[in-house]
Amino acid sequence: MQLPQILVDAYDAYKGKIVKPSDNLLHKTTGLLQNGMNARAFGEYPSPEALGDARWTDELILSTWYMAETGKVPSDMNFKTGKSDGGFDRLDFQFLPEEEWLEHSEEIDTAIPLNRRADGKHDLGIDIPWYGGGMSYGSVSINVMMARAKNAKRWNSYMSTGEGGYPTELYEVKENVITQVATGYFGVEEETIQAAPIVEFKYAQGAKPGLGGHLLAAKAGEEVAKLRGSVPFVSLFSPFPFHSTYSVEDHSKHLDWIETVNPQALLSVKVSTPHDVDMVAVGSYYAGAHIIHLDGSYGGTGAAPEIAKKNIAMPIELAIPKVHKFLQKEGVRDKVTLIASGGVRTADDIAKAIALGADGCVLGTTDLVGMGCTRCANCEGGPSGRGCPWGLTTTDIELQEWVQQDWAEMRLDNLYKAMQWRLRDILRKLAMDDVSQLRGRTDLLRYIGKEGVE
């Protein structure tokens, strides 16, 4: 069989034609990339015309880079919203009169518990109401994974492996790594389930519900294939759905299986947002989930098809209150943690999601932007077939080196500092000293109509 040229090139690359960059090249390229990024974020050059889109505007990307460099929110750029004309971009807070605001203080509590069942399993919580969503090894490089995981450890938070197995490097920070079991069962092993404090079952992804996942052959190199139990440079498809699950009872059996392998692990169930998402959520609760993770449309990297992102799942802003209210009606809202993702970009989005009824959020793209993502949508391969030209969503032996772990970890730490500061800023303007007081307070939100008319 004649292999497509792109695969031949990729295979040759792995066999040594493209080798790890020399120290000189590494120094020069990373230096130029990082300086270029900072020059834009600090306003030394105008924003490039092609940068950004309606959800992630050029200004939002640059302000995120600024926060990732400085740990502070910028004074002259929008770091809160995009220009999508809907959802979080059309919601704002109704703050109290200034004389009622609290002082900005580290005493304002941003921590949330993850296990609300009091069932004797790990009593876990996170110091900030968000953690890192699943991006698999293969979809991103080991440098990106490690930077995210180490930053999660710094913040007493978590990062999910996504569905691509558990690279051995991650054992170093295993207390902060969620392992994912998804429909392809790639890399799912007893050992990794036993290592995980939280096991996440991914039933669907909001950016592409009903479509499953697809890792193109060019990105499934030797290391990726080994972890996934496959052979190099063969496309890997993660089907939709789990073909063993058609009822709450089947779902419950799934969770029982994990419980048998790791009795202490918390169970997270990630679902997309169909019209009956409230029923799905309550079913997950009765099946034994500690965390219900709702993944709305608009998330996903540039590998998710635009037509799917914009047209299938329910926006997360609608799904959160629907599920929150239904769980309240069922009398189980305080026994489960509701986590939201799918287009959550900023501290303001997180606060709005909590006001709509979530306990916290999951971030994926925000982490990538913090590490230099330009939203160019070449994650799946791009013109070269080698993946992200900035070294983020690629396992190309050369490109992945453009993102150095220490640098990326520092960027994420700074970004999280700025985001926590902003979250506290919102809370104090609502006279709240604990983020849990914000949950479900839709009365504090106002809709800003188009053209800013309320």
Contact residues for ligand SF4 (CB under 6 A)? 301-302, 368, 373-379, 388, 390, 392-393
* CA within 13 Å, CB half, 109: 10
Q: How far apart are CA 195 and CA 174, in angstroms?
A: 7
Residue 135 Cβ vs ligand SF4, minimum distance, rounded to whole Å = 10
Cβ proximity to ligand SF4, 273 vs 393, nearer residue = 393
> Token pair 């889109």 is at which residue?
53
Residue 287 Cβ vs ligand SF4, minimum distance, rounded to whole Å = 34
Residue 176 Cβ vs ligand SF4, minimum distance, rounded to whole Å = 23
Q: How far apart are CA 128 and CA 125, in angstroms?
A: 9
Nearest to 316, CA basis, from 295, 289, 292: 295
Cβ proximity to ligand SF4, 390 vs 416, nearer residue = 390
Residue 393 Cβ vs ligand SF4, minimum distance, rounded to whole Å = 4
Residue 174 Cβ vs ligand SF4, minimum distance, rounded to whole Å = 26
In 104-210, the DSSP E strands lie at 112-113, 125-126, 130-132, 159-160, 177-181, 198-202
* CA within 13 Å, CB half, 184: 21
Helix or strand holding residue 147 (H, E) = helix 142-154
Residue 199 Cβ vs ligand SF4, minimum distance, rounded to whole Å = 27
Exposure string for 108-118, b = 16+ CB within 10 A, e = fewer = bebebebbbbe
Cβ proximity to ligand SF4, 65 vs 390, nearer residue = 390
Cβ proximity to ligand SF4, 269 vs 392, nearer residue = 392
The number of residues in the chain equals 454
Q: How far apart are CA 197 and CA 195, in angstroms?
A: 7
Q: Which amino acid is at 209?
A: P
**First vs last C-alpha separation in the chain:** 63
Residue 344 Cβ vs ligand SF4, minimum distance, rounded to whole Å = 17
Q: How far apart are CA 110 and CA 423, in angstroms?
A: 8
Q: How far apart are CA 151 and CA 416, in angstroms?
A: 9
Cβ proximity to ligand SF4, 137 vs 242, nearer residue = 137
Cβ proximity to ligand SF4, 131 vs 390, nearer residue = 390
Range 41-49 contact pairs with CB under 8 angstroms and sequence separation of 24 or more: 41/65, 41/66, 41/69, 42/66, 42/69, 43/76
Cβ proximity to ligand SF4, 182 vs 388, nearer residue = 388
CA geometry: angle at 51 spanning 365 and 131, to 5°? 10
Cβ proximity to ligand SF4, 198 vs 373, nearer residue = 373
Cβ proximity to ligand SF4, 115 vs 374, nearer residue = 374
Residue 29 Cβ vs ligand SF4, minimum distance, rounded to whole Å = 15
